[in-house]
Homo-oligomer: A and B are copies of this chain.
């Protein structure tokens, strides 16, 4: 399997991050990951086909919003809180707080 792509913190692109967050499903995913700290795909509780979930994880990951690490048979996803906050201060508060 291909290694995951995680853009460097300095190269995070605002339009790209905003686009990743502009999908309701992904926004919900981000909120749940933020609340839990680290989550596997399955533990998210979003009822969608695996391939769809995988797609959304990829968009978030390649925009630099989440980081995915392999832990045995599962993939753990965490918010790149510090990287995002360092580059776009305040953005996470908006996204995690907003209704």
State the main secondary structure of chain A at its contact with B. Answer: helix
Distance of A48 Cα from B88 Cα, bound (Å): 28
- Chain A contact residues (Cβ within 8 angstroms of B): what range? 20 to 34
Copies of chain A in the complex: 2
User: Does A89 make an interface contact (CB < 8 A)?
Assistant: yes
- Cross-chain contact of A22 among B22, B24, B90 (Cβ < 8 A): B22
A13 to B81, alpha carbons, bound, how many Å?
A: 23
**Which of A21, A97, A98 has the most chain B CB within a 10 Å cutoff?**
A98
Contact partner of A15 among B22, B90, B93, CB < 8 A?
B22
- CB-CB under 8 A from A23, the residues of chain B are 15
Interface centre among A21, A22, A91 (most CB of B within 10 A): A22
Q: Mark A1-40, 1 if CB is under 8 A from B, else 0.
A: 0000000000000111011011110010000000000000
- Which residues from B are CB-within-8-Å of A52? none
